Structure 1
Amino acid sequence: MGDDDYSKEDLLQLCKRFGDYITVKLFAIFSISLQNLDSHSIGAIAGLVVAILFTWKLLRSSRASHRSQPKRQSNMPSSSGVNTHSNSSLTLAEFSQNSQAQDGIDEFFQPVKPTLGQVIRQRLNEGRKVTCRLLGVILEETIPEELQKQATVRSSVLEVLLEITKFCDLYLMERVLDDEGEKNVLLALEDAGVFTSGCLVKDKVLFCSTGIGRTSFVRQLEPDWHIDSNAEVVYQLARFIKYELHVSPIKAERTATNVFSSPSLEQFFGCV
């Protein structure tokens, strides 16, 4: 088999590997719905185009190089050792060139890490309305009595909370014992920047005096998701709400197929 045959076979192998990359990456990129395209997705498509142009130019230059090389005489004595050394050098050079091309393709096709917004939309299954309890989920405090003294927004949940407000109609709710508890909650949310950095307004922070009142709020709003730290409330609403997230430090038994559980809201979205 001549040198040209070896060169063609190498080029075909390289094209085949690149074709496999193209197939996989095109499927991954275009499986995302057009409405979810953002700067990262556009960047991935742009990288794909650049990779195609890069490989096309590489293949053209490789073909031109092989055409310009004169054919070696087949009747040269092989015992001299010169041809053996030349063939080895040429094979190594071609292997190095193909390896560099493969490295270039690999570099362009490095997986793009999804943004927090993309993760949230995926985990919420594109749900647009969300209701969420404050105690034990957004706030450090876990019982209404603690709210009479102070309210503290959990720093680890703040980024997730603000991101949810960008894509969802979010309502926060809690049972308080008096006006002082309500005041402390609103002040804590305001100090954390929830009302200025996100799309949440104070009118969407709802207060009630009983646990039944929170359940009533949720049923009236008919959200796609309800997030709560009270197992009894989650159980009662499972028949009426499409999806629920039970936030509990102790892994709870799954009571229904539409009820998920997580130690925290941020862990549910993989932020910890």
Structure 2
Amino acid sequence: MAALTSPAADSGRDELVDLIQRFVESLAEVCERLPFHVHREKLRSITTLAALAIAIIFAWKLSRSPSNHQRRQRKQPGPLPARANASLHANMIVQSSEASTSSGDLGVQDVADEFIPPVKLTLGQLVRQRLCEGRKVTCRLLGVILEETSPEEIQKHATVRSSVLEVLLEIAKHCDLYLMERILDDESEERVLSTLKDAGVFTSGGLVTDKVLFCSTENGCSSFVRQLEPDWHIDSNPEIIFPLARFIKYELYISPSRPERTASNVFTSTSLEQFFGVSA
């Protein structure tokens, strides 16, 4: 006569199979992100060993945990009427089943967290992820790339924010990036271009001086954005950001304070680097 397996054993086996499948999928995803090629046969051997190790640890954890029956023992109440007693019994069965499922899920998650640590993404991966794989980006200079916040200031000086440089270069590497700004005279244009060049913005090859656009009005900046049709526009001027929200897929509003109301496709951050999780 064939031996009968208990529901608890079936549940434990199902959880183990699910855990191994999740581990293999996570390992494959990690390998795809590695900067070097991993041979499939070697990956299969490593996966097999890792799955075996998880199975052993999982079985050991289950063997050490007290039985569900012992953990859920309750003090029995006094005699109840037949109908009330039946109802209480049914509720206890449902609660016990829910608690068992929850406990099992937590146990699987604990083992998964132990063997599958969170993958730390590179800055390039973060940029692509946060930009939703957007390929074209337009960005204002004042208050985002430059320390200065008005055209009058860059008539005297222009300074690239050092904390934003790494993120800017990474965006230029993965996206078709255009920078733009409103200026009051030709000297301001020369000053900004010289400052960007000295900061090394044009050394990565992703950004050239022809992609730095200048105009004399705010409407000119809006026109640049409309004509370029980017996937993302980044700006520190709310008078530019919010009217453009109807035409641009995504926008990032750089502001020290969060506005009360924004469009669903407008994100807000205190700085460009903060949006990508880079500390200043």
Using the size of structure 2 for normalisation, the TM-score is 0.67
Q: Deviations over 1:191-223 (max 9, x none)?
A: 111101241000000000111100000000000
Aligned: 1:52 with 2:48: yes
Give the match for residue 39 of structure 1: 34
Code of the residue aligned with 2:206 in structure 1: it is C
Q: Hey, what's the Cα distance between the residues in 1 that align with 2:261 and 2:128? A: 23
Distance 1:51 1:26, change over 3 A: closer
Q: Hey, what's the Cα distance between the residues in 2 that align with 1:131 and 1:183? A: 20
Give the match for residue 80 of structure 1: none
Code of the residue aligned with 1:122 in structure 2: it is Q
CA shift at 1:149, angstroms? Answer: 1.5
Q: Hey, what's the Cα distance between the residues in 2 that align with 1:47 and 1:161? A: 36
Q: Hey, what's the Cα distance between the residues in 1 that align with 2:33 and 2:54? A: 30
Q: Hey, what's the Cα distance between the residues in 2 that align with 1:189 and 1:114? A: 28
Gaps of 5+ in 1: 1-12, 60-104
CA shift at 1:115, angstroms? Answer: 1.2
User: Could you tell me whether the CA contact under 8 Å between 1:47 and 1:109 is conserved in 2?
Assistant: no
Code of the residue aligned with 1:239 in structure 2: it is R
Aligned: 1:218 with 2:225: yes
User: Could you tell me whether the CA contact under 8 Å between 1:48 and 1:108 is conserved in 2?
Assistant: no
Using the size of structure 1 for normalisation, the TM-score is 0.69
Distance 1:109 1:219, change over 3 A: same
Give the match for residue 185 of structure 1: 192
User: Secondary structure in 2 aligned to 1:215?
Assistant: helix
Q: 1:25 aligns with which of 20, 23, 30?
A: 23
Matched ranges for 1:112-151 at <5 A: 112-151=119-158
Code of the residue aligned with 2:260 in structure 1: it is E
Q: Hey, what's the Cα distance between the residues in 1 that align with 2:120 and 2:239? A: 37
User: Could you tell me whether the CA contact under 8 Å between 2:173 and 2:204 is conserved in 1?
Assistant: no
User: Could you tell me whether the CA contact under 8 Å between 1:157 and 1:265 is conserved in 2?
Assistant: yes
Code of the residue aligned with 1:187 in structure 2: it is S
Q: Hey, what's the Cα distance between the residues in 2 that align with 1:232 and 1:58? A: 56
Q: Hey, what's the Cα distance between the residues in 2 that align with 1:173 and 1:26? A: 46
Give the match for residue 152 of structure 1: 159
Code of the residue aligned with 2:21 in structure 1: it is T
Give the match for residue 237 of structure 2: 230
Distance 1:40 1:144, change over 3 A: same
Matched ranges for 1:76-115 at <5 A: 109-115=116-122
User: Could you tell me whether the CA contact under 8 Å between 1:40 and 1:112 is conserved in 2?
Assistant: no
Gaps of 5+ in 2: 1-11, 56-111
Number of corresponding residues: 216
User: Could you tell me whether the CA contact under 8 Å between 1:141 and 1:152 is conserved in 2?
Assistant: yes
Code of the residue aligned with 2:156 in structure 1: it is K
User: Secondary structure in 1 aligned to 2:159?
Assistant: coil
User: Secondary structure in 2 aligned to 1:260?
Assistant: strand
Q: Hey, what's the Cα distance between the residues in 1 that align with 2:182 and 2:271? A: 20
Q: Whose helix fraction is larger, Structure 1's or Structure 2's?
A: 1
CA shift at 1:236, angstroms? Answer: 1.4
User: Secondary structure in 1 aligned to 2:125?
Assistant: helix
Q: 1:168 aligns with which of 169, 175, 178?
A: 175
Q: Hey, what's the Cα distance between the residues in 2 that align with 1:108 and 1:51? A: 12
Give the match for residue 202 of structure 2: 195
Q: Deviations over 1:59-115 (max 9, x none)?
A: 9xxxxxxxxxxxxxxxxxxxxxxxxxxxxxxxxxxxxxxxxxxxxx97763332011
Distance 1:250 1:57, change over 3 A: closer
User: Secondary structure in 1 aligned to 2:194?
Assistant: helix
User: Could you tell me whether the CA contact under 8 Å between 1:175 and 1:210 is conserved in 2?
Assistant: yes
Q: 1:261 aligns with which of 260, 264, 268?
A: 268
Q: Deviations over 1:121-145 (max 9, x none)?
A: 1111111000000000001010011
Code of the residue aligned with 2:271 in structure 1: it is S
